[in-house]
Structure 1
C-alpha cells in the first residue's frame, strides 16, 4: 500500500504520541506521560471492554509503529513512543483509577522499560518491524503490572 503525505502525517502523529516523542529529553518518558489520559479512559472501562481495547491498541500500535519506522527510514527511532503508550495501558489495565496507582504504575513501567530484564530485551531481536518495537514495551508493561498488583494486594500502596 502506497502512503500519501497526508497518511504519513497521521501515522507519525499517532506513532509519536501526539508529537510527545519529539521531546528533546527522555522521549520515552514523555510518551509514557502522554499515555496517562488514555490509561484513565481504559481504566474506566468494564473488564471485557478493557481487554478487547487493550488487544486492539496493541495490534494498532504494531501496525502504526511498523509504518512509522518505514516512513522515518530507521530502525526503532526514539521519537516513536506509541509502544510506550501501549505498555503503560498494559501496566494499568485492571487497576482502579487513582493518582497513587497511576504514579506507581508509571514508575514501575519506566523502570522495567529502561532496565529490560530477561526476556524483555530479547523480544526486540526476536520480532522485526512494528512487532519488535512494541513487544519489549508490552513485556515491560506485563512485568510492571504484576509488580503493581503485588504491591496493591499486599497493601503496600
Structure 2
C-alpha cells in the first residue's frame, strides 16, 4: 500500500491538515480539534461575531481546501484532513461563555458527535462527497454539539 504524500508547502494542504496536526499517527481528528482550541478561544475572547465570521468563511474555504487536498492525494476524506474538525469546534463554541468548563464539555460533545455520527450526520457522511461532503458531516456534528452545549450550560459550574 502506498503511503500518502502531503505537501505542507501548499497553503491549502497546510490548512486542510490543521497546521500539520492531522499528520498525528494517533487520533488525527482529535489532534486537529485540539489544534483548534487556541484559535477558537482567541476568537471567542474577541467576541462571538469574530468566531461566527470565522466559522462562516472557514466553512466556505474548507469546501475548497479539503476538496483540493483530497483530489491531490486521490483519497476522499483522508483522516489527516482536519480543517472540518477545526470548523466543527468553532461551531460548537458559538455563543458559549468563555470558561474552561464550556471548552472541555464542548470539545467532548463535538468529538462524540463526530466519531459516533448519529443520524442524520451518518447519512451526510455516506452520501455527500467532495469538499462539501468532507465539511458537511462535521458542520452537522458541530451544530448538534452546539445545541447540546447550550442545553448543558445552565448546569455547568462556571463560577
**Common fold by TM > 0.5:** yes
- C-alpha contact 2:44 2:50 (8 A) present in aligned 1: no
**What is the match of residue 107 of structure 1?**
108
Query: Which runs of 5 or more structure 2 residues have no equivalent in the other structure?
Result: 1-6
Encode CA deviations 1:100-141: one digit per residue, 9 max, x unaligned. Answer: 111110001001100100000111233221100010001111
1:17 aligns with 2:13: no
Query: Which runs of 5 or more structure 1 residues have no equivalent in the other structure?
Result: 1-5
Q: 5 Å matches for 1:1-157? A: 9-153=10-154, 155-157=155-157
TM-score scaled by structure 1? 0.89
SS in 1 for 2:76: coil
Equivalent-residue separation in structure 1 for 2:8 and 2:29 (angstroms): 24
Encode CA deviations 1:73-108: one digit per residue, 9 max, x unaligned. Answer: 111101100000010000011111111111110001
Deviation >4 Å, runs of 4+: none
Equivalent-residue separation in structure 1 for 2:56 and 2:45 (angstroms): 16
- C-alpha contact 1:69 1:75 (8 A) present in aligned 2: yes
Equivalent-residue separation in structure 1 for 2:43 and 2:115 (angstroms): 24
Equivalent-residue separation in structure 2 for 1:40 and 1:134 (angstroms): 21
Cα separation, partners in 2 of 1:32 and 1:50, compared to 1, 3 Å: closer
User: In the comparison of the two structures, how many residue pairs are matched?
Assistant: 152
Deviation at 1:50, TM superposition (A): 3.3
Equivalent-residue separation in structure 1 for 2:140 and 2:110 (angstroms): 10
Deviation at 1:35, TM superposition (A): 0.6
Worse-matched range after superposition: 93-102 or 80-89: 93-102
